[in-house]
Amino acid sequence: MADGGRVTGTAGFAADRTAEVVTREWRLAQVFVEMADTLVEEFDAVDHLQTLSERCVELVDADAAGLMLDDQRGQLRLIAHTDESARLLELVELQQREGPCLDAVATGEVIPNIDLATAGDRWPAFTRAARDVGFGTSHAVPLRLRRQVIGALGLFTVGERRLREDHLAVVQGLADVATIGLLHGRATRDQVALSEQLQAALHSRVLVEQAKGVLSAQAGTTVEVAFALMRTHARRSGQPLTTIARAIVGGRVEAATLQRAAASYEVRRPS
């Protein structure tokens, strides 16, 4: 029924639902293009994988994500995370050598909808740590290209919330696109070059973590806020995240500089 030019009742709900679906599909298309855009002069693998983690949380029913990468020397390393709880949980997984991401790397298979209330026998340390920070469900998706697996993405939800099949397909699709970007970049690389690239990405992650700590201390804020400030500046200034991190650690860029830049970006942004 129409009410003052508005559609109400069942018809209104259907119209809202259709608009929601169209908006989500448009956003999904944008994200796939974003993840495929690796043909840049200075491809930043750390930022690429951080974006993957953030977009997966945005697009599916998850609350946090962490991503680990094979260093091509037989070790998995944490390289991206959306918040501190995910970072700590993935570190537990690596230190205890148990958890869904490790199994996803070993098998190349998706491990979805893990009820952390009943997974204690399989992964006791991981399950205990996950529940301690409030997560009730976990999922692990491999970063793979055909038979080559180079890492895994872990997704975590508060409470017992399962991911639908279409959401799992979205996450695996984004992970596949990100993996292709890492393995190929601007040209097909041989195995030696790939190993060097992944090692550089892991080294960059360490540098970024150091910069987050320095910036957090200078600004008197959380590491999450410090990272957002650093990453925003990198993107808006057109510089790689690693370049900004190196400047912060080296004392050439301070928190006040980034805060002034952020304020100027806001002033220049059209209303």
Evaluate if residue 267 carries a pLDDT over 50. no
CATH class of residue range 202-266: mainly alpha
| CATH fold match for the domains 23-185 and 202-266 | no
What value does the mean pLDDT take over residues 246-252?
A: 86
Evaluate if residue 157 carries a pLDDT over 90. yes
Evaluate if residue 142 carries a pLDDT over 90. yes
pLDDT in tens, 170-198: 999 999 988 887 776 534 445 545 556 66
Is the sign of the CA dihedral 154, 155, 159, 165 positive or negative? Answer: negative
With bands split at pLDDT 50, 70 and 90, how would you rate the model's confidence at 227? confident
Euclidean distance between CA atoms 154 and 86, whole angstroms: 8
DSSP 3-state of 161:
coil
Residue position matching structure tokens 């990198």: 234
Q: What is the pTM of this model?
A: 0.65
> Domain 23-185 sits in which CATH superfamily?
GAF domain (3.30.450.40)
With bands split at pLDDT 50, 70 and 90, how would you rate the model's confidence at 121? very high
Domain edges within the chain: 23-185, 202-266
Low-confidence winner among 14-23, 95-104, 174-183 (lowest mean pLDDT): 14-23
Please enumerate in sequence order all residues whose Cβ is within 8 A of that of 95, keeping only pairs 6 or more positions apart, or say none: none
